[in-house]
Structure 1
Amino acid sequence: MHGLASSARITRGSSGESRWELATRPPAPRLRPYIRDLIGYTEQAPGPLRRRELPVPNVVVIIELGPPIRVFDAGSDRRHARYPGGFVAGLDDTFTITEHDGFQRGIQVNLTPIGARIFFGVPMAELTGRAVPVRDIFPRGHARLAERLEELPTWDARFDLIERALGERVDEARIDTGVVSWAFRRIEERGGAVDMRALARELGYSQKHVIDLFREHVGVPPKLLARLVRFDRLVKHLKAGATGTWAELAQRFGYYDQAHLARDVKQFTGTTPTRARAELIDLAGMSP
């Protein structure tokens, strides 16, 4: 990779007494099958701040450049852990609560599951529903990546280093992800509205074999991935301030009916659709 397609876009804002800065930059074109987003962030608040992180069809990498946040067990607000240097969170089917004491600073890299499979070199099922310290999962040649990122002076320099590290792993990769990559794209292109039997027939494999491939290269079966893709589209639609009744949204995003949508929202958020919608609207101002 030579040169940059663009520089990081910096957004600053406030909510009450809280202040935040976001730096975002689209990944280099050749890395877009592997990286969805590069986000740098700094946030200051007058006291502890807790958030409900919703499941997404990405593997989330958090590099801590400030005090480590608290990450609660998936679907719980009781037990938690801290991960100095950062952590990697695999795909999950429920929410995760995070909390900081009034200050956080770091980088979030949203990897596609295929990108994570290539970068970390481990079956994605090992990350499903888990947060793993970066020091335990980063490949040997990039074990000091978090420390090196902290030493750099700008968001662009940090994003450059992340792209170089992933680019090297892509160039070295000997993992055959072609079949799952194609199926993953098909599920995303159709917003999760994919018949799994038809997908297996298109791939020329049994449904069991397709499920096994997805567990290795994505971390979850294709049916759950499709549900996450559909839910993620709904979340982005609501965060953008879109209107519509739940029945209208169910029809738009391919749910059988309003009750079907409500069940998925309750499982993925741990709360009611109405409350989840209100929380998403509150978070919309901090979206990159």
Structure 2
Amino acid sequence: MPSQSNTLYEHVFVDARADILFNFGCPYARTRLDETSSESMGTSNLDTQRTYPVIIQQTGEIYLIGLRFKPGGLSAFLPIPIHEISNLTLDIGMMFSASMMELQSRLYDAASFSQQIELLNTFFLKRLNPNAVHPYANEVARQIEQYGGEINIHALCQQVGYSIRTVDRIFNITYGISPKAYARIVRFQRALRQMRQNPSLNLASVAQNCGYYDQAHFAKDFSALAGQNADQFRKYLLAKSLAPNLVQILQAP
């Protein structure tokens, strides 16, 4: 719902999920952390699954309504291979036709948040196509998640009965990234959860618990997928636990 803000920063980590954002407020800036220039986002958009972290900067009136797809979930609503739109921000009208623009107008006119939720559920359930998702892609993802990203992809391919090239192709169509990249993200998110649950846990223990080769390997992956080093994030978590009114917006795991 609408709110006023001087400047709000949201540091968004990599999580293999796509988002749709309906923006009824002021434009916001999105900056890729390995670049210096920002992209102005003034309209509603589909933000597909990314392989890099970003910072969202919002100034002025903030009025956003959004939904986040589970990893691979976008493929049940779009009749295209998802890897073709990875790391892109796309106009929702172009991707979902005029019906999405009608939904946007109805969301803006809705009398309450619960009514907006009902509109979103009705719209997407009507367009859900579960048969578009390859069952082997979901099985590969399930096993990667079950083992927290610590899994041999070659052995997994043998288990599902396909070559690694075929599994890569099927997985990319549904999830927009390779199984190896997904395993890396799952392990990173596992490390994030451990750090949030126990900020005092030393980084060497986090690395060992999550199956990294060593702390240097963990540090490299964390920096690439979070856009900050693990020690910085740990210090933020420790400070937050000591001062609960310290606020920084971070996406939920």
* Equivalent residue in structure 1 for 2:213, among 248, 256, 273: 256
The answer to whether residue 31 in structure 2 is matched with residue 69 in structure 1 is no
Measured after TM superposition, the shift of residue 73 of structure 1 is: 4.2
Q: Alignment identity in percent?
A: 22
Equivalent position to 1:153, from 111, 116, 134: 111
How many residue pairs were aligned? Answer: 245
Q: Provide the rounded CA distance (Å) in 2 between the counterparts of 1:283 and 1:185.
A: 33
Does the aligned pair in 2 maintain the 1:75–1:97 contact within 8 Å? no
Counterpart Cα distance in 2 of 1:237 and 1:60: 25
* Residues 285 and 98 of structure 1, relative CA distance in 2, 3 Å threshold: closer
3-state SS of the aligned residue for 2:170?
helix
Q: Flag structure 1 segments of 5+ consecutive residues without an equivalent.
A: 1-40
Match of 1:199 among 128, 146, 156: 156
Distance 1:136 1:151 in 2: 22
Q: 2:4 and 2:142 mapped to 1: Cα distance?
A: 38
Relative to 1, partners in 2 of residues 1:89 and 1:204: Cα closer, same or farther, differing over 3 Å? same
Choose between structure 1 and 2: higher helix proportion.
2
SS of the residue corresponding to residue 132 of structure 2 reads coil
Cα distance in structure 1, aligned partners of 2:25 and 2:195: 30
SS of alignment partner, residue 129 of structure 1 = coil
CA distance in 2 between partners of 1:241 and 1:48 (Å):
30
Q: Distance in 2 between matches of 1:54 and 1:76?
A: 15
Q: For residues 149 and 92 of structure 2, what CA distance do their matches in structure 1 show? A: 30
Deviations 1:214-239 (A, max 9, x none): 11110000011111111122223334
Is the 1:125–1:220 Cα contact (8 Å) retained in structure 2? yes
Work out the CA distance in 1 between the residues paired with 2:247 and 2:16: 19
Q: Deviations over 1:93-114 (max 9, x none)?
A: 2211211114312123110233
Larger CA deviation: 113-122 vs 272-281: 272-281
Shift of 1:68: 2.8
Please list, as runs of the form range in 1=range in 2, the aligned pairs for 1:141-220 lying within 5 A after superposition. 141-170=99-128, 172=129, 174-220=131-177
Aligned to 2:4: 44
> Which residue matches 2:39?
80
Amino acid at match of 1:231: F
Return the letter of the residue paired with 1:213: I
Question: Letter of the aligned partner of 2:4 in structure 1?
Answer: Q
| Matching residue of 2:84 | 126
| Native 8 Å contact 2:8 2:57 kept in 1 | yes
Residue type of the partner of 1:192? G
**Change in 2 beyond 3 A, CA 1:286/1:213:** closer
State the shift of 1:58 in Å.
Answer: 1.2
- State the partner residue of 2:58: 100
Give 1:62's aligned amino acid.
L
Q: Tell me the residue number matched to 2:73.
A: 115
Normalising by the residue count of structure 2, what TM-score does the alignment of the two structures yield?
0.86
Q: Per-residue deviation at 1:74?
A: 6.1
Contact 2:50 2:87 in 1 (8 A): yes
TM-fit CA distance, 1:271: 2.5
Superposition CA RMSD, Å: 2.4
- Flag the structure with more relative contact order, 1 or 2, with Cα contacts below 8 A and sequence separation at least 6: 2
Question: How many angstroms apart in 2 are the aligned matches of 1:277 and 1:242?
Answer: 6
Contact 2:11 2:249 in 1 (8 A): no
CA distance in 2, matches of 1:238, 1:53: 16
Please state how far the C-alpha of 1:241 moved relative to its aligned partner. 5.4
TM-score of the pair, normalised by structure 1: 0.76
Deviations 1:120-143 (A, max 9, x none): 332211221122122222255434
Measured at CA, do residues 137 and 165 of structure 1 come closer, stay the same or move farther in structure 2, by a change above 3 Å?
Answer: same
* Code of the aligned partner of 2:74: A
Q: Is the contact between residue 57 and residue 232 of structure 1 (CA under 8 Å) also seen in structure 2?
A: no
d(CA) in 1 for partners of 2:175 and 2:147?
Answer: 18
Look up the SS of the partner of 1:120 in the other structure.
Answer: coil
- Structure-2 residue corresponding to 1:5: none
